[in-house]
Amino acid sequence: MRKYFAEAIATFCLLLIGTGSVILDHKTAGGVSLLGISLITGLVVTIMILLVGKMSGAHMNPAVTLALIAKKELSFHEFAPYLLAQAIGAFAGTFTLSLIFGYNYSLGETIPSIQIGYAFIIEVVLSFFLLLTIFYSSDRFPVLAPWIIGLYVAIGIFLGGNYSGGSMNPIRSLSPAVLNDNYAGQWIFFTAPFIGAVLATIIYKNKKA
């Protein structure tokens, strides 16, 4: 139970601070900038891994959880409680932002700005390399892994932010979409990260075999 609580707290912080930086960027007409959003979110990921990684793994992302199940580091029956913990944390984070800022800044929702098919491909690719980064850094450089993973998240958001939205995370996109009641193009964030994660797991396991 403790690890699911830790997972909820980590996801709450990711949404509160990560999407909060997006809201502040809108509120200040670009004052935070895409680079700032990327670095803030990447640092939150690093900090959460350092703080609660030994308790829950600090996935903060259902695609990561699914990949670890496919890699057989977790049992399948843990997917539902992890997903519930992530959902509780994400929706609590977005709801807190709605109380602070209202609904005037889209609650940090990830919205593709290019043709939806291209955005889908970008999200698959970014998620694919996210999982490879997690696998390789955790196996080969465990002490540096939190920083490497956070850096990749920052790079992924910076590269994809102006195109697909740079989500790489279904739950990060779901809670703002639901509370903002805007689902246009959101299907890519509920599919592409899982596809990228599973592909990365298959390739990594085959290379390790």
151-199: per-residue pLDDT in tens? 999 999 999 999 999 999 999 999 999 999 988 889 999 999 999 999 9
Given a contact cutoff of 8 angstroms between Cβ atoms, the answer to whether 123 and 12 are in contact is no
> How far, CA to CA in Å, does 142 sit from each of 34, 46, 54, 91, 146?
29, 13, 12, 30, 8
The count of structural domains within the chain is: 1
User: In 75-127, at which residue ranges do the beta strands (DSSP E only) sit?
Assistant: none
pLDDT band for position 103 (50/70/90)?
Answer: confident
Contacts of residue 74, Cβ cutoff 8 Å, sequence gap at least 6: 65, 68, 82
CB atoms within 10 A of CB 181: 7
Domain that holds residue 31: 2-208
SS3 state at 58:
coil
Q: What is the CATH number of the domain that holds 161?
A: 1.20.1080.10
Q: What is the pLDDT of residue 106?
A: 87
Structure tokens given for 169: 């995370």
Q: pTM to 2 decimals?
A: 0.95
Indicate whether 104 pLDDT > 80: no
Given a contact cutoff of 8 angstroms between Cβ atoms, the answer to whether 8 and 85 are in contact is yes
Mean pLDDT of the chain: 95
Which candidate, 126, 193, 198, places its Cα nearest to that of 162? 126
CA dist 118 and 27 (Å) reads 28
| Each residue's pLDDT tens digit, 34-86 | 999 999 999 999 999 999 999 999 999 999 999 999 999 999 999 999 999 99
Structure tokens given for 61: 């992302």
Which candidate, 63, 72, 32, places its Cα nearest to that of 126? 63
Block residue for tokens 């932010």: 161
Contacts of residue 104, Cβ cutoff 8 Å, sequence gap at least 6: none
